[in-house]
Structure 1
Amino acid sequence: MHSDDGFFGENIAAGYDESSADMFAPDVVGPAVDLLAELAADGPALEFGVGTGRIALPLARRGVPVHGIDLSRAMVARLRAKPGGDTVGVTIGDFATTRVPGTFAVSYLVFNTINNLTTQDAQVDCFRNASAHLRPGGCFVVEVGVPELRLLPPGQTAVPFHIGPAQWAFDIYDTASQAMSSNYVTIVDGRAEHRSIPFRYVWPAELDLMARLAGLRLRDRWEGWTRTPFTGESRRHVSVWEKPGD
């Protein structure tokens, strides 16, 4: 793994699209692109954590100019190799602090990527960075899961989310610090391989405070991209914060 790529180096990038195949399904990508294209209208979009272009490429095909920021050169190389990969501008860097020229109609973070920032300070910086890139009236969109602490009985710290014949996956939570990690045990040629990726889980109300610190205000919150109402039973949310106009 290239050290500058963080936890998404060549060994992860090589199989990322295949391992996340369900997230590339048209019924998953389509509603996200529809909403983002609507929010962008006639303006450009900025994706934090653009990765292999799961959302950026179809959004660009809709006529929305898209620029991405990502720390992983290996992931971006996969984006570049895809049809239309040269239409998405990419800046290599930490999306919590990296600035790019211009202002945008919409900036967005999808698929729990806000949790890749493993401190509250970094997540606050991310909101400030998003706000600094937005034109007045622009929106910052985040898709992220609701922390599943209700699944933890007293004394338990792990929640399994995949059990298969050759792979087991589980999240480990530290409720005192909001640190968590996703852990994968995979059987390869009869031997077990372990991979762990650190995250920081964050609550919807906490995100709203981060937005306020960045001069943004909550406009909408739904359970998903199809705008199903968000409730106490929702396991994820798509939230839209707006930068006040002039």
Structure 2
Amino acid sequence: MDSRDGYFGERVAAAYDASAGEWFAPDVVDPAVAVLAELAGRGRALELGIGTGRIALPLAARGVPVHGIDLSRAMVDRLRAKPGGDAIGVTIGDFATARAEGSFSVAYLVFNTIMNLTTQDAQVDCFRNVAEHLEPGGHFVVEVMVPDLRRLPPGQDAVPFQVGPTRWACDLYDVATQSMSSNYVEFTEGRGEYRTIPFRYVWPAELDLMARLAGLRLSERWDDWGRAPFTSESRAHVSVWEKPVG
């Protein structure tokens, strides 16, 4: 089950672009779009969890036909309202299982969205679904964090990532199940409001095994979209798997 519908509804969608403002900056978006455009070539691109179009719109502006899958109608409505958004086809559904028409030369999941699938089975299903959409020689690209467990001393399960006068945020980890949640407390006019979003964190080697089960093979793994080397100190990775020809 893709949690984007229940946790990315109208209220979150309305403020999403503003809350993730730094992720819309050209120095963040442009390198990702350049890699995806290169992998797409003259083919089509499939974005899983297309959201409000942070990547899809500039990729389409480069001439790459883009189709999306997303469970959140509220997020897709924001995409549709943007210039060029109504020209991008979107299938409403769980991106682990939903089918889009046609085949694609590249499929991609960015901004930790693979973790919105909160079970290992759903993540495995996602790889299989992507493999069925890809043309031979096509690529699947995932941008995701490396689990930040090195910051957890014995007996601690919380990693704060934002502390300010109006907002507190932390990730809670359960290392036995690989489940985690991002938790937010926001203060407005002296009143606090709590919100939580569940995830399932996943290791690079585990993703590679999911890819192999789907008939894909690892092609590249970088620290970032600028293709910096992935190392033991990397806190995120961009991984590319290829569907073999023949």
Pairwise TM-score range, normalised by the shorter structure: over 0.9
Instruction: Work out the CA distance in 2 between the residues paired with 1:71 and 1:86.
Output: 17
Instruction: Work out the CA distance in 2 between the residues paired with 1:15 and 1:163.
Output: 19
2:241 aligns to what? Answer: 241
Instruction: Work out the CA distance in 2 between the residues paired with 1:185 and 1:22.
Output: 20
1:219 aligns to what? Answer: 219
How far 1:5 moved relative to its partner? Answer: 2.2
Instruction: Work out the CA distance in 2 between the residues paired with 1:100 and 1:157.
Output: 39
Task: Give the share of equivalent positions with the same residue, in percent.
Answer: 74
Give the TM-score normalised by the residue count of structure 1: 0.98
Contact 2:47 2:66 in 1 (8 A): yes
Structure 1 residues not aligned, in runs of 5+: none
Counterpart secondary structure, 1:14: helix
- Cα shift readout 1:67-95 (whole Å, capped 9, x = no counterpart): 00000000000000000011210010000
Letter in 2 for 1:45: A
2:25 aligns to what? Answer: 25
Counterpart secondary structure, 1:168: strand
Letter in 2 for 1:198: P
How far 1:4 moved relative to its partner? Answer: 8.6
How far 1:156 moved relative to its partner? Answer: 0.1
Letter in 1 for 2:24: F
Letter in 2 for 1:68: G
Runs of 4+ in 1 over 6 A off after TM superposition: none
Give the TM-score normalised by the residue count of structure 2: 0.98
Instruction: Work out the CA distance in 1 between the residues paired with 2:228 and 2:214.
Output: 27
1:166 aligns to what? Answer: 166
Contact 2:4 2:116 in 1 (8 A): no
Counterpart secondary structure, 1:68: strand
Superposition map of 1:106-185 within 5 A: 106-185=106-185
Structure 1 pair 104–146 and aligned structure 2 pair: CA distance change class (3 A): same
1:38 aligns to what? Answer: 38
Counterpart secondary structure, 1:96: coil
Structure 2 residues not aligned, in runs of 5+: none
Contact 1:46 1:106 in 2 (8 A): yes
Aligned-CA RMSD value: 0.9
Letter in 2 for 1:24: F
How far 1:116 moved relative to its partner? Answer: 0.2
Instruction: Work out the CA distance in 2 between the residues paired with 1:192 and 1:101.
Output: 45
1:13 aligns to what? Answer: 13
Counterpart secondary structure, 1:22: helix
How far 1:223 moved relative to its partner? Answer: 0.3
Letter in 2 for 1:243: K
Instruction: Work out the CA distance in 1 between the residues paired with 2:209 and 2:62.
Output: 33
Q: Would you say how many aligned residue pairs link Structure 1 and Structure 2? A: 244
How far 1:159 moved relative to its partner? Answer: 0.1
Counterpart secondary structure, 2:139: strand
Contact 1:60 1:87 in 2 (8 A): no
